Amino acid sequence: MTAVLPKVDRGREQEPRPRPPRRYRWTRLDTKVSPYLFVAPFFVLFGAIGLFPLLYTAYVSLFDWEVGADDPAFIGLDNYRTLFEDDQFWNALFNTFSIFLLSSAPQIVVAVLIAALLNENLRARTGWRMGVLLPYVASLVALTIIFGNLFGPQYGLVNDVLTALGFGPVDWQASTFGSHVAIASMVNWRWTGYNALIVLAAMQAIPREVHEAALVDGAGPLRRFFSITLPMLKPTLIFVIVTSTIGGLQIFTEPKLFEPSGGSGGGAEHQYQTVVLYLYQSAFQGLDLGYASSIAWVLFLIVIAVAGLNFWITRRAVK
Amino acid sequence: MRQRWVSVLICAAVSAAATTACGSGGASQTQDGKTELTIATFNEFGYEELFKEYEAAHPDIKITQRKTGQGQPHHQNLFTKLGAGSGLADIEGVEEGYLSQVMSKSGQFNDLKEIGPQIEGDRWLKWKTEAITTKDGKLIGYGTDIGPLAMCYRKDLFQQAGLPSDPEGVKALFATWDSYFAAGDQFIAKVPGVAWFDSAAQVFNAMHNQHEVGYYDKSDKLVVDTNPAIKADWTAVTAAVAKGQSARLAAFSNEWNTGFKLGKFATKTCPSWMLGVVETQAGPENKGKWAVTDAFPNGGGNWGGSYLTVPKQSKNAKKAAELAAWLTAPEQQIKAFKAKGTFPSQVKALDAPELLEQTNAYFGDVKAGALFATQAKKVKAAQYKGPADGQIQETVFSPALQSVEQGKNADEAWKTAVEGAQKAAK
């Protein structure tokens, strides 16, 4: 037997699902499609001016492609082979890393210290905070030209001061290490304050209760800095370190304008030629687009690898 | 409502398409049916007034000038668009320093002997025309201006060193490179703290350009390591550097400018346009101290100057060539000289009274026009320039000489230079 369930009267008659009125259909389409439409401009633009050049560069790097050549010859991976045997490239890579280390490492340490100072109760706090950002506001080119003058080997102010202090003058153009210090100082001058402000913002987001609890437990300022502030800054530090890695490995303007005669060689013996500068020289002085493209791709991979490595290290080191 | 919007959109699209169509179909035709000629120049060619004059005489022509401030971006644009196959002006200016690159792509320029009007063969100085004639005899550019070399020197410092200092007396010092470097030895012994010349590369380039064969031989073979003349120049210049004759200042750098102000070197290889540079950099406080003489070691030389070319991309090549030929005629080039001081490359213009009477107050009212006209005639022949010639000079030899000035061993630097040249020529 089957029990027949009585039909429950729900108070209204069964009727076929109504066709939604026209204007609702539009609304449904709207809610489905328009989010994509709203984000589309970014992806269309990114495809046109981000992704396409990236892929096209990879394509060009497989050719012996001189600017103005009628039909470039396909040479497979030959550009890469030449590149890995090219002393000038390895030299440029060394310079890039050397300048990167000389700039990023002290820069982040100093930025955290400045942020810690700015986090204290200072008079005219906003003034100080804006003050550290000033170098970032100044034009990069103007800054580089001024630093180039300061570090002039013969008539530069830095050498005058060094001589007055009893040290011998340094030939900032001829010495490899000297030129790297000069360029790193430009980078540090510009970016330390900017990074300090980012770190400061993160510091202020650290809840006071944690500090107060530690204080009650008898932790001194140093202990609190290392056991509370630094670990809680981790996400911000990762961001700062990854962006400065990307920027540092792509450094171009500073070494380009540091060359007194305006060339792209990065010094008479490429003492401070960075990878991007070598790329620029290959493309626009050597007019060898294929080779320059292969440099660009190798650099791209290196940047990704180093940024990933830094990400990993920062995550482990600052617990 | 919606339909109205659609029709508006369609109208806009159609009219946009129509305008583009007008634009592209008549790229060389203005709306009133004139032929539009574009001419791309850099720095100052001094042609602005001449364009008006030409348009007045040719009512069917409209001239549009694309002017770039500096030579480098202009040429970068030139080479990029040669590669792209479109986008160049009907007439493109080309500077002497980029000539080797242009000549290696000579197939993309019109032979002006073929499409241009008849021009008497001796309009230009012979070496000027030679430099832009291809190996198979095609002329791909008309000469505009030149930069004949003379010697600039500091009168006061010469007196201090006990050297002759009047323009006639110094000529013996500047007779050959040997006498030049010998005088340098004398000078630095007497005047401490002041060098003989500004930069080794500046002297070396002038020496090197005087040889018939330079970095390349006429079959485009790189001869850097086998050409004894280059090695001899190298040895002479680096020896002078070792003795302290060089102020070790990279040309056109800030420190070079300071060197002019402080009077840190006594001589300067001086193309005609350099007088203005010296005046600006040395400044009014050094007025009357600099002089120039119509002598240059081992004869003459040239640094700078330009050409007008007509790329094959041009749709109005014939009319463009006519305009270029007219602009580079002596009568017009003298007007450009008066407007902007570009030193003419035309034989007749070098005898024009306007040029011969020109004086330079900063250099003690010297008759600069006549002086450089004399120097221009001393240039013997144009050195054959191979495909990577300009690059070898700029990115290989100049830095190598700079490294010697920074203390590198001259033999090692020579090796680096030869290897660098071979790499650049690849």
Q: What angle do CA A82, A88, A94 make, to 5 degrees?
A: 115
Closest approach of A308 to chain B, Cα-based (Å): 35
**Count of CB atoms situated within 10 Å of the CB of A309:** 11
Task: Kindly report the CATH class assigned to B147-302+366-425.
Answer: alpha beta
Distance of alpha carbon A208 from alpha carbon B258, whole angstroms: 56
Interface of A with B (CB under 8 A): 66-69, 145, 148-149, 152-156, 171, 173-174, 260-265, 267-269, 281, 284-287
Give CATH for domain B33-146+304-355.
3.40.190.10
Distance of alpha carbon A303 from alpha carbon A96, whole angstroms: 11
Q: What is the pLDDT of residue A15?
A: 60
Distance of alpha carbon B267 from alpha carbon B2, whole angstroms: 79
Q: Check if the beta carbon of residue A187 is closer than 8 Å to that of residue A248.
A: yes
Q: Across the interface, do B255 and A264 touch by the CB < 8 Å criterion?
A: no
Within a domain: A128: yes
Residue range B405-423: average pLDDT?
94
Q: Provide φ and ψ at B224, rounded to 5°.
A: -50, -45
The total of structural domains in chain A comes to 1
Chain B contact set for A66 (CB, 8 A): 83
Q: Across the interface, do B83 and A155 touch by the CB < 8 Å criterion?
A: no
Q: Is B243 on the interface with A (CB under 8 A)?
A: no
Closest CA to B76 of B45, B40, B30: B40
**Count of CB atoms situated within 10 Å of the CB of B414:** 22
Distance of alpha carbon A281 from alpha carbon A277, whole angstroms: 6
Sign of the torsion angle spanned by Cα atoms A47, A49, A51, A56: positive
Question: Which residue range is the domain that position A177 belongs to?
Answer: 86-317
Residue A213 — very low, low, confident or very high, per pLDDT cuts 50/70/90?
Answer: very high
Q: How far is CA A160 from CA A170, A184, B244, B261, in A?
A: 10, 20, 21, 18
Q: Which of B76, B262, B402 lies nearest to residue A268, judging by beta carbons?
A: B402
Closest CA to A116 of A228, A214, A191, A209: A228
Q: Which of B76, B258, B408 lies nearest to residue A284, judging by beta carbons?
A: B76
Distance of alpha carbon B174 from alpha carbon A45, whole angstroms: 62
Q: Does residue B19 carry a pLDDT above 50?
A: no
Q: Check if the beta carbon of residue B376 is closer than 8 Å to that of residue B301.
A: no
Chain A contact set for B258 (CB, 8 A): 152, 154-155
Q: Check if the beta carbon of residue B122 is closer than 8 Å to that of residue B347.
A: yes
Q: Across the interface, do B406 and A171 touch by the CB < 8 Å criterion?
A: yes
3-state SS track over B187-241:
HHHHCCCCECECCHHHHHHHHHCCCCCCCECCCCCECCCCCHHHHHHHHHHHHHH
Question: Where residue A126 sits, what CATH number does that domain have?
Answer: 1.10.3720.10
Q: Across the interface, do A68 and B83 touch by the CB < 8 Å criterion?
A: yes
Q: What is the pLDDT of residue B3?
A: 43
- In eight-state DSSP terms, residue B303 is E
Closest approach of A148 to chain B, Cα-based (Å): 9
Q: Is B193 on the interface with A (CB under 8 A)?
A: no
Q: Does residue B224 carry a pLDDT above 60?
A: yes
Chain B contact set for A156 (CB, 8 A): 255
Q: Check if the beta carbon of residue B295 is closer than 8 Å to that of residue B376.
A: no
Chain B contact set for A260 (CB, 8 A): 250, 253-256
Chain A interface disruption, residue of B255, B312, B408, B422, most A CBs within 10 A: B255
Percent of chain A with pLDDT over 90: 57
Sign of the torsion angle spanned by Cα atoms A252, A234, A236, A119: negative
Residue range B156-168: average pLDDT?
94
Within a domain: A16: no
Distance of alpha carbon A287 from alpha carbon A159, whole angstroms: 37
Q: Across the interface, do B101 and A264 touch by the CB < 8 Å criterion?
A: no
Q: Does residue B165 carry a pLDDT above 80?
A: yes
Chain A contact set for B391 (CB, 8 A): 285-286
Structure tokens at B179: 């006498």
Q: Does residue B128 carry a pLDDT above 90?
A: yes
Rounded to the nearest integer, the mean pLDDT of chain A is 88
Q: What is the pLDDT of residue A5?
A: 56
> What is the residue extent of each domain of chain B?
33-146+304-355, 147-302+366-425
Scanning every residue of chain A, which has its alpha carbon at the shortest distance from the alpha carbon of B400?
Answer: A268
Q: Across the interface, do A261 and B406 touch by the CB < 8 Å criterion?
A: no
pLDDT single digits (tens) A268-283: 999 999 999 999 999 8
Residue range A29-37: average pLDDT?
86
Within a domain: A18: no
Residue range A171-179: average pLDDT?
93
Residues in Cβ contact with A109 at an 8 Å cutoff, skipping those fewer than 6 apart: none
